[in-house]
Amino acid sequence: KPTAEGVLLRSVTMWLLLQSLLLLASCLRSATAFPKGCYPSEEEGLKTFRCSNARLTEVPRDIPNDTNKLFLDSNRIPFLPRDAFRDLPLLLELDLSHNAIASVESGAFRGLAEHLHSLDLSSNRLVSVSKDAFNNLKAKVNLSNNPWLCDCRLQELIRTVDLVAGSSSGIVCHSSAQEEHVGKAFLQVIAEADLCNVYKKTTDIAMLVTMFGWFAMVISYLVYYVRQNQEDARRHLEYLKSLPSKQRRSEESSTISTVV
């Protein structure tokens, strides 16, 4: 006959075994839900999700929505689509450095404006990005080490975002409409010239040239029209002179009445 101690021991053993199985199932389920190379952790009391160097080609789905720090650095992500992080309302830090990002759609960071305070886009392939992509974003942004096209669009972007301290020297003109700007730090370029005013002046000149061209065409047509009418009138007068006098007077009367 089993003793009370034996029954209790078996009950405790079964309970511990059941708890172990549930924990193992939970771990396996979590592991299979995340992309290979991604894992959750807790750092300094903040919930962190790391996907560094995981060979990702897109922003992964199923990131825990209570994530505070997200590391997607050193992957192969080529662009950031609209609403890429909309399910991460508690995100504080986002590291997208050392990817292949060449395009950021407007609204890519929508939903992050209230909490995000650090955004790293350094060492990507950004050439030109609309300022609308960073609408209402209050985060410190790192845009260094990208092959930027230095133009009015970049100037407007730089004036919109709050750059990480010390990162501005890494925003260098890889290309520019003005050859002398290539290789220079962008802040140095806009300290010497307002690229948006240069663009505006170029546009104004182009408009003036176009308007002058149309005006010249109109004047040319009017001159041609007047000369053609004068030539027709001269020929008609010569024709009238060649007619007998009676017929000529009749033709002249007809011409005058027509003109009147």
CATH number of the domain that residue 61 is part of = 3.80.10.10
Question: Above 50 in pLDDT, residue 201?
Answer: no
pLDDT at 30: 47
Residue 30 is encoded by which pair of tokens? 């979590």
Same domain, 75 and 200: no
Name the percent of the chain lying above pLDDT 70.
63
Of residues 135 and 198, the one with the higher pLDDT is 135
Same domain, 142 and 55: yes
Indicate whether 237 belongs to any domain: no
Same domain, 81 and 203: no
Give the pLDDT confidence of 89-112 residue by residue, as tens digits: 999 999 999 999 999 999 999 999
Three-state SS for 43?
strand
Same domain, 226 and 176: no
Same domain, 184 and 204: no
- 143, 164, 193: which is the final residue of a domain? 193
Chain-wide mean pLDDT for the chain? 81
Would you say the C-alpha torsion 194, 135, 50, 62 has a positive or negative sign? negative
Residue 211, domain extent = 194-231
Same domain, 176 and 206: no
User: Which of 7, 60, 63, 67 is CA-nearest to residue 30?
Assistant: 63
Of residues 82 and 239, the one with the higher pLDDT is 82
pLDDT band for position 260 (cuts 50, 70, 90): very low
Indicate whether 251 belongs to any domain: no
Q: Which of 139-143, 176-180, 241-245 has the lowest mean pLDDT?
A: 241-245
Same domain, 227 and 153: no
Same domain, 189 and 200: no
Taking CA atoms, 137 is separated from 6, 64, 97, 119, in Å, by 64, 22, 18, 10
The overall pTM is greater than 0.85: no
φ/ψ of 148, rounded to 5, equals -65, 145
Same domain, 121 and 208: no
Cα 171 to Cα 246: distance, rounded to the nearest angstrom: 91
Indicate whether 2 belongs to any domain: no
Give the pLDDT confidence of 224-238 residue by residue, as tens digits: 666 667 666 666 566
Tell me which amino acid residue 162 is. Answer: D
Total domains, the chain? 2
Average of per-residue pLDDT across 157-179: 94
Same domain, 109 and 222: no
Same domain, 143 and 157: yes
